[in-house]
Structure 1
């Protein structure tokens, strides 16, 4: 049986040094009532940071070149191929021999949609993924293109196929990412309906939003699929969207890159929670946002903020599950609980152990030194107390040596809580005990039916 062909990039992202041209079109620019017309390229520079920019070459306008280049603009508008683009004017300069003028326009919103997404149907869509971990061990690797690691993420109605780039390009991209801290294309994504029916660009955008949040939880940092292209059955493009990739490179996550089947197993469960209700969708979006913000370098200057954000995320999950979902207590009753009791209730329902162990040595050692009346009862008590010492100016305990442990423990609780509430029962990387990113163990609550 022959292997399928690998998914190929629609745009030339091979060089991070030069901006990538995504689209070309005609433009009309108005600056303080003076109208200029010409052509523009929609560019995606990846260095120093990814951002969309229209670079326009203009003619016309009854104004001197020097005034064009240096006059401050109070009113401006920009139209690309007849479509108004909200944004602001950037760099302006006069071309050689004063024959043409150049202008950069920065879009206010992303993704940019330059066509009718609702009426244009496709049978598949291709997206570009930047800085996603170099994984292997997927369940469907036998059906992947030769030399390309593959993840198949399937929900009730949709399937995403994530493929590494051919010819070792993903590995080479990660060498650059680690050495230079740049943003590089690492994978391609294909979206299809399970029943093979066509879908609109709007439908694809909604599914891509789900995927972005899922991949952020998998990676532990932002990782968005961008620059989507809808494809008809004959391979013709039906719609396009444009956006700059949003990436971060966190130190840890629960995901074991060498056991990619973890993500494949979690995805349908995550999608079910996401689609369960508007409240759950909003909760997961919020929690994953705070999670990615908190999952920074453990000894950075922002560790105090990371501790606070991680526990805000935990309390948000606890409220959604205990008050909204299970209706075990009222909203007022939940608010009246101590923070540690809210977390303790959540962890008990999820099957997450709460005792303090030597996996958090600074917290364990500090607790041993406290008097019996001051000791922390368990992990929820410890992280809530340490968080309170950061939020409130007066604290009876000196817990400054426990910040790294509190950060790790809070994120460990957060990762396990999301996994448990999705119904996941497989393996994961334990950030408290793992020596290498390849280490994995079963979740504490064991296998679920």
Structure 2
């Protein structure tokens, strides 16, 4: 959605530029071309080549190289054959050497190879005087309202700013984001959708270690927000100089584009702001950080409904994790001994009650009453007990236990994600709104209050 032409006094900024760029959102990104250090067994040899980030058929960091040295597969120390594939590294003296073209092939090439490259930190791994960093994101839906950005002679509302725990993060989507998202909806796969910038709110310096920490927070916040994995990619940090100081190359954790079951609505960027702020605060506590990371893993697994039975089990595992953390570790309602005496649905029910989440069936999930009627020996017949009994029937099947239809499993899936999503938000102390998985049909902009803050 483009805006009016700004006048000559308009100070509207352009989108953040990143050190690594591609011709199109789906093009591979060239990170390096130049000398490489090859290793084969105990032997080290000279090579030349490149490092790229490729998207298809899945995201992978890949090196390709060649060498004039002969008999690469022979260990010169003892003359024996090396059966492992040779590997290469980027020399420390050439960390940000990027060329746009491969150039002419060298003569007398004796060896050529390619393969995946693991996580690599280039530049100063112990950098302490960083002032800002940029990164890219793939497969993240755009927020529809935000600060305006300028493209050529027109502006559009393309920047979302997040603050929390002393950090400031700007997420910018391009002016043609609608074309990019349409391509992703039609064809799936991966494409770059945003550039980002992170810095301290007060403008102070920070270290590479603290930068990695806030980028991890951003990974889990954005993945929770859109319901599938997305991460800051190829982060590049600067000090006051114009040349980059530090960068992290790593295989990106990004799910292929699919229908999103995320809790953030694109017309409500305030949801993402509070989510980032609450998560950044929780990250300072090592135990809370571990619980939040694992709970989000369970929720993202649960968002994939293939198959529904496994998705329901993933959500229940996340609920058991949070029940232990809240009832035993945080609020000390139970000791470890008394907690172990609880049945699974009893601990789940106590967790929900702690956050004013109703254990009864939401009105839209009409198939759950049919499920309850098939389970004739229920003691309470509420959501936690029905979910637990359905899972137990899958884990311990026999000929007499009732079977459930796809529609019944679908409603159970919606209920399990409803419980887990709200429990994660309750654990974080979130007070805002969300997109509720128990509401089967969502309209654009439709949101619900959390039950503990109606």
Match of 1:29 among 38, 41, 65: 38
User: Superposition pairs for residues 223-372 of structure 1, below 5 Å?
Assistant: 223-248=230-255, 249=258, 251-275=260-284, 277-296=285-304, 298=305, 300=306, 302-368=307-373, 371=376
Output the CA distance in 1 between the equivalents of 2:270 and 2:242. Answer: 30
Output the CA distance in 1 between the equivalents of 2:197 and 2:431. Answer: 27
Output the CA distance in 1 between the equivalents of 2:374 and 2:341. Answer: 30
Higher share of residues assigned helix: 1
Structure 1 position 197, deviation (Å)? 0.8
Output the CA distance in 1 between the equivalents of 2:359 and 2:169. Answer: 36
1:211 matched residue in structure 2: 218
Instruction: Say if 1:256 and 1:437, in contact at 8 Å, map to a contact too.
Output: no
Structure 1 position 5, deviation (Å)? 2.4
Instruction: Say if 2:124 and 2:245, in contact at 8 Å, map to a contact too.
Output: no
In structure 2, list runs of 5 or more residues that go unmatched. Answer: 1-9, 74-80, 94-104
With the length of structure 1 as denominator, give the TM-score of the two structures.
Answer: 0.86
**What is the RMSD of the two structures over their aligned residues, measured on CA atoms?**
2.7
Match of 1:106 among 79, 103, 116: 116
2:76 matched residue in structure 1: none
Listed one character per residue, the Cα deviations across residues 103-158 of structure 1 (whole Å, up to 9, x for unaligned) are 11322x33x212322235221110111000122234xx368983242222211211
What number of residue pairs does the alignment pair up? 421
Determine whether 1:198 maps to 2:205.
yes
In structure 1, list runs of 5 or more residues that go unmatched. Answer: 65-70, 84-94
Output the CA distance in 1 between the equivalents of 2:72 and 2:287. Answer: 54
Q: Secondary structure at the match of 1:311?
A: helix
Output the CA distance in 2 between the equivalents of 1:386 and 1:274. Answer: 34
Change (3 A) 1:47 1:142: closer
Output the CA distance in 2 between the equivalents of 1:17 and 1:56. Answer: 23
Out of 32-41 and 222-231, give the one that drifted further: 32-41
Q: Secondary structure at the match of 2:185?
A: helix
Instruction: Say if 1:33 and 1:75, in contact at 8 Å, map to a contact too.
Output: no
Match of 1:382 among 379, 386, 402: 386
Output the CA distance in 2 between the equivalents of 1:61 and 1:32. Answer: 15
Determine whether 1:393 maps to 2:400.
no
With the length of structure 2 as denominator, give the TM-score of the two structures.
Answer: 0.85
Instruction: Say if 1:231 and 1:237, in contact at 8 Å, map to a contact too.
Output: yes
Listed one character per residue, the Cα deviations across residues 221-279 of structure 1 (whole Å, up to 9, x for unaligned) are 1000010111223433111111233222354122111212111122212222222x211
Structure 1 position 100, deviation (Å)? 4.8
Output the CA distance in 2 between the equivalents of 1:365 and 1:236. Answer: 64
Instruction: Say if 2:148 and 2:159, in contact at 8 Å, map to a contact too.
Output: no
Determine whether 1:133 maps to 2:141.
yes
2:423 matched residue in structure 1: 417
Out of 25-34 and 416-425, give the one that drifted further: 25-34
Structure 1 position 399, deviation (Å)? 4.1
Output the CA distance in 2 between the equivalents of 1:417 and 1:9. Answer: 37
